[in-house]
Amino acid sequence: MKKLSIAILTIAVLSSISCKKFLEERSQSDIVPTTVTDFSDILSTGGYPNGIKMMPQLLLMTDDAEYYASIDPRPGDETFYVNCPAFQWQPDFIDACRQSLSPNLLEFDSWSVFYSKLMRVNVVLQYIDAAPGDAKERDRVKGEALALRAWYYFLLVNLYAHPYNDPAVSPAKSPGVPLKLDGNVIEETIARNSVAEVYAQIGKDLELAITLLERDDRIGSKVFFDDVAVHLLASRVALYKDDWEAVVKHTDYVLEHHPQLANLNAGITTSIVHRDNVETIWAYGNHRVSDIVGFAAVADFSHDLANTFDEKDLRSQYYYYYFPPEFKPFITVDYGINKYVEAQWFLNWRSSEAYLNRAEAKIQLFRKNGDAAAAQQALADLNTLRSNRFAPGDFVAWTMASGDELLKMCREERRRELCFEEGHRWFDLRRYGMPEIRHVYASAPGKTEIYVLKARDPQYTLPIPLEVLERNRALVQNTQISGVRKPE
């Protein structure tokens, strides 16, 4: 266990992610794990994403968010200013938010947040095989750790690198993120692996995680990774790679084991994003995703997003609020998020995503091969989901259309269903080709400004935080716009 005493240096620091060296952490504990159960405890307390906010900066960056104080700002609205650099897609938004004294600063540094989690996961994977304990528990812990590592790298490479399916850049030549696959403290710098290499490691980890977790005969608790959750993640990874056959394979498994959908017509007793919701496959986290200073007061659910919902769609009651004009003396926004109303479990993976992933893959196969049966199967998935979002008398099933029209319908349904959940919209816009987004902002009373994220804008790939670059001189910064982004 000599090596373990070195590796454990990476475990205990949960509060400090500002380090002298890239990924380096210091121990505050002399406890050395030895058994499978010890490593299970490390994973559950330090490897899982409990207690952290997941990429809250993305809440500010998509077309799903709108700034409502653009015409007549009120006292108190200026609190949004501390995070407006993210809303404006400024090239060094973290540094700009630091200068404006944003309390969300550390949470915007997803690079350090996720690599900190990866260190703990890697310690488990490095030593679990030699640890004494029950073989079934070892398989379970190792499977969960592999799935977590795949997920964190999937998020990192989609935040800080070009999309895998970007036709302008080969994933084999496109800089991704550094792959660190052990838990040892390092002194040397680490260069970026390619996007293709990162995805290859993600695929390798998921394949083994699936093998291990499919052996697990526990009844799922929904708070730990199981085989269904890992297949759902694998379907998402395949979707981002345009690997349509793999998407279908993995979603078939998910929906065979967890086809349940919440019937909004019958009402639900929890928010849609909750551990106890019937759709939930995996639930995690205990912080409000919208807990960003100034956001709920003046910037919230956009008109553009609200206008995509049919007036009879029951999600207009369960996914967002509408505040009529008489509320204006008290509430600035016209619409507000209504997905997060409980005290915990604000993030989850749901079976609805599996229906959407499979439908999109089937539509793409129809567009690619003219497979009309695939198109009908896609429609069946979409209509199954939609039939649970309308009253029976209001539901109108979608019928056959061209491949392009079906894809448009599917993507709009995806936007409605998954809005404000785990960065889906931002990541989807990236893989859709990175279209233009416009944000309206008021820098002063009566001074309306329009900021534009242009089509294929460099800011669709987030800048690596400056502190990270200072710690690791081998890293090369992503291409950014020069200077400050100015309004039109």
Give the separation between CA 11 and CA 32, rounded to whole angstroms: 10
Return the closest-CA partner of residue 177 out of 163, 157, 196: 157
SS3 284: strand
449 forms bridges with which residues in the sheet? 441
Return the closest-CA partner of residue 35 out of 130, 106, 146: 130
Helices (H), 214-277: 227-240, 244-257
The single-letter code of the amino acid at 250 is H
Instruction: Dump the DSSP string for 229-246.
Output: HHHHHHHHHHHHTT-HHH
Q: How buried is 476 (Cβ within 10 angstroms: 0-12 exposed, 13-18 middle, 19+ buried)?
A: exposed
pLDDT value of residue 121: 97
Residue ranges of E strands in 63-131: 65-67
Q: How buried is 119 (Cβ within 10 angstroms: 0-12 exposed, 13-18 middle, 19+ buried)?
A: buried
- DSSP label of 165: T
277 alpha carbon, distance to own chain's centre: 19
Tens digit of each residue's pLDDT (9 = 90 or more) over 424-460: 999 999 999 999 999 999 877 678 899 999 999 999 9
pLDDT value of residue 401: 97
Return the closest-CA partner of residue 183 out of 27, 332, 325, 308: 27
Measured between alpha carbons, how far apart are the two ends of the chain, in Å?
A: 61
pLDDT value of residue 340: 77
Return the closest-CA partner of residue 38 out of 138, 184, 183: 138
pLDDT value of residue 278: 95
Helices (H), 264-335: 295-298, 303-306, 315-318
Give the separation between CA 153 and CA 111, rounded to whole angstroms: 10
Give the separation between CA 481 and CA 233, rounded to whole angstroms: 33
- CB atoms near residue 447 (< 10 Å): 11
Q: pTM for the complete prediction?
A: 0.92
pLDDT of the chain along its 488 residues, tens only? 333 333 333 333 333 333 333 333 333 344 578 899 999 999 999 999 987 888 999 999 999 999 988 766 666 667 788 899 999 999 999 999 999 888 888 889 999 999 999 999 999 999 999 999 999 999 999 999 999 999 999 999 999 999 999 999 999 999 999 999 998 876 678 999 999 999 999 999 999 999 999 999 877 678 999 999 999 999 999 999 999 999 999 999 999 999 999 999 998 888 898 888 999 999 987 555 556 877 878 889 999 999 999 999 999 999 999 999 998 888 889 999 888 766 555 688 999 999 999 999 999 999 999 999 999 999 999 999 999 999 999 999 999 999 999 999 999 999 999 999 989 999 999 999 999 999 999 877 678 899 999 999 999 999 999 999 999 999 999 999 999 999 99
pLDDT value of residue 15: 32
Q: What angle do CA 124, 128, 130 make, to 5 degrees?
A: 145
330 alpha carbon, distance to own chain's centre: 32
pLDDT value of residue 275: 87
301 alpha carbon, distance to own chain's centre: 18
361 forms bridges with which residues in the sheet? none
Contact 1, 39 (CB under 8 A): no
| CA trace torsion 190, 193, 197, 198 (10° rounding) | 80
pLDDT value of residue 6: 31
Q: Which two tokens stand for residue 419?
A: 């809005």
Give the separation between CA 53 and CA 16, rounded to whole angstroms: 15
Give the phi and the psi of residue 322 in degrees, each rounded to 5: -115, 130
Give the separation between CA 142 and CA 130, rounded to whole angstroms: 12
Give the separation between CA 337 and CA 325, rounded to whole angstroms: 18
Give the separation between CA 58 and CA 347, rounded to whole angstroms: 14
Tens digit of each residue's pLDDT (9 = 90 or more) over 296-324: 788 899 999 999 999 999 999 999 999 99
